[in-house]
Amino acid sequence: MAPPPSAAAAADKDLDEAERQRSCRLMRVNHAGEVAAQALYQGQALSAGDPGVAAAMRRAAAEEADHLAWCESRLRELGGRTSILNPLWYLGSFALGALAGALGDRVSLGFIVETERQVESHLRDHLERLPAADLRSRAILEQMKHDETGHAATSAALGGSDLPLVVRAAMRLSSRLMTRTSYWA
């Protein structure tokens, strides 16, 4: 596991209770997203046709495991908790990943490209919404955003195809449902 990105942990004392709660909720959403990412990549690796694509999915899953650990550690530091719905996010994402893989490597890779584009947008939004004093969470999300951009580029380079507009819209809708629910649960 890679060590978490560093930032001034002492800045946490500057967070008031409302800011700490907002950081907890945002990091819970990010943790839930990493649970889903793990499952998605694992499902896709399982059903990939090309061994090189399966290996790329496993490498990305390993990076996502780091993100998962960083988010969980940060939640503990903030006194927060993970989403009670994580088992649901995992199962649904694993099934979706296996289905995407079964549709062929080009579709599966295209699914990753679109997923990571949406995740990058989501992380930019969270970086704007985090309290200014929460430097530790900010450092974690910046590193995650960098890694997710790399996952999208790798998947595109391996031959990911563009997904139909209706599929991209459905992905945004399901992501919105997960993020809004995980914020509170």
- Position 174 scores a pLDDT of 87
Instruction: Cite the DSSP H helix spans in 48-185.
Output: 51-78, 86-102, 105-129, 135-157, 165-184
Q: Is 15 left (phi over 0), alpha (psi -120 to 50) or beta?
A: beta
Residue 9 has pLDDT above 80, yes or no: no
pTM assigned to the model: 0.88
Residue length of the chain: 185
- Position 78 scores a pLDDT of 96
Give the amino acid at 162: D
pLDDT digits (tens, 9 = 90+) for 36-94: 998 998 999 999 888 988 888 888 888 888 999 999 999 999 999 999 999 999 999 99
Whole-angstrom CA distances from 24 to 65, 103, 132 are 19, 37, 14
Banded pLDDT at 29 (limits 50, 70, 90): very high
Residues 6 or more apart in contact with residue 82 via CB below 8 angstroms:
28, 31, 32, 72, 75
Within 10 angstroms of residue 32's Cβ, the number of other Cβ atoms is 26
- Position 14 scores a pLDDT of 84
- Position 31 scores a pLDDT of 96
Out of 3.60.15.10, 1.10.3720.10, 3.40.120.10, 1.20.1260.10, the CATH code matching 15-184 is 1.20.1260.10
Residue 5 has pLDDT above 80, yes or no: no
Banded pLDDT at 10 (limits 50, 70, 90): very low
- Position 80 scores a pLDDT of 96
Residue 7 has pLDDT above 90, yes or no: no
Phi, psi of 38 (to 5 degrees): -55, -50
Q: Which two tokens stand for residue 47?
A: 């059903």
- Position 3 scores a pLDDT of 55
153 vs 9: CA distance, rounded Å: 32
Q: Among 147, 181, 156, 149, which Cα is nearest to 32's?
A: 181
Residues 6 or more apart in contact with residue 136 via CB below 8 angstroms:
7, 8, 9, 11, 12, 74, 77
Give the amino acid at 141: L
Q: Which two tokens stand for residue 164?
A: 């139909």
Query: Which three-class secondary structure state does DSSP give residue 31?
Result: helix
